[in-house]
Amino acid sequence: MADSDGFHPLDFRTLPEGEMCHRAADFLALMRRRRTVRHFSDRPVPASLVADCIRTAASAPSGANQQPWFFAAVSDPAMKRRIREAAEAEERTFYGGRAPRDWLDALAPLGTDWEKPFLETAPWLIVVFEHAYGIGPDGARIKHYYAPDSVGIATGMLIAALHNAGLATLTHTPAPMRFLSEILGRPANERAFLILVAGFPAEGAVVPRIGKKPDDAVMGWY
């Protein structure tokens, strides 16, 4: 098909099957070492590295290719402090009574509480925003398709990219997250989806002794 009809040839690189198997196994081993980290060091991370990981996320498939996302990479200490203060205010009410007992019981193995020092310690907070709707050149609203799903896919790719680059991450979702739009001055059509904390783990960081479900619980062959 020619360029003139809106299509061009696919750049697909066929690999020998042995190499395919090695790559699949190597990627599995890499991704199995990913852990959600809640103790971060203040060791800096170059913005260029974070930018490449965000570019990876922004390459994700999306409904009608609308790319309904914005990634706000925050390293400014004053802005991180404001985000921490607002998030902790929400979390205090969550842990202090808003969360039902069964939710708190489900979180107990993770050892979380209202205090979120990592929001200031970690070098980067990547606030992922979802475009609930688009804005046309004439200012009219454009309907978005599968926006939350698309942003979820992009966020998964962001987590994988950061891990692959040698960084630790934490998915953090203080609720409600409206304060993030205010602090970052984002427009009304964007909603905060999550905060991805990224950096190096603190010296001696620990993670909960929890595991993943076995193969037979997560996959079936038909």
| Interacting residues toward ligand IYR by CB under 6 A | 91, 94, 107, 110, 112, 172-174
- Answer for the pair 133, 84: CB distance below 8 angstroms, yes or no: no
CB of 88 or CB of 149, closer to ligand IYR: 88
Q: What b/e sequence results for 2-19 when a residue is b if at least 16 CB atoms lie within 10 Å of its CB, and e otherwise?
A: eeeeeeeeeeeeeeeeee
Least distance from ligand IYR to the Cβ atom of residue 103, Å:
7
Least distance from ligand IYR to the Cβ atom of residue 69, Å:
21
Distance in angstroms (rounded) separating the CA atoms of residues 64 and 154: 14
Phi, psi for 74 (deg, rounded to 5): -110, 120
The sign of the dihedral angle between the CA atoms of 43, 48, 169, 112 is: positive
Least distance from ligand IYR to the Cβ atom of residue 55, Å:
27
Distance in angstroms (rounded) separating the CA atoms of residues 65 and 80: 32
Least distance from ligand IYR to the Cβ atom of residue 95, Å:
7
CB of 38 or CB of 144, closer to ligand IYR: 38
CB of 107 or CB of 165, closer to ligand IYR: 107
Distance in angstroms (rounded) separating the CA atoms of residues 170 and 36: 5
Q: Which residue is nearest to ligand IYR (CB)?
A: 112
Least distance from ligand IYR to the Cβ atom of residue 87, Å:
8
CB of 106 or CB of 135, closer to ligand IYR: 106
Q: Residue 130: name the closest of 194, 85, 79, 197 by CA.
A: 194
Strands, E, within the chain: which ranges? 69-74, 124-131, 133-135, 141-143, 168-172, 190-199
Least distance from ligand IYR to the Cβ atom of residue 114, Å:
7
CB of 57 or CB of 194, closer to ligand IYR: 194
- Answer for the pair 44, 77: CB distance below 8 angstroms, yes or no: no
CB of 56 or CB of 171, closer to ligand IYR: 171
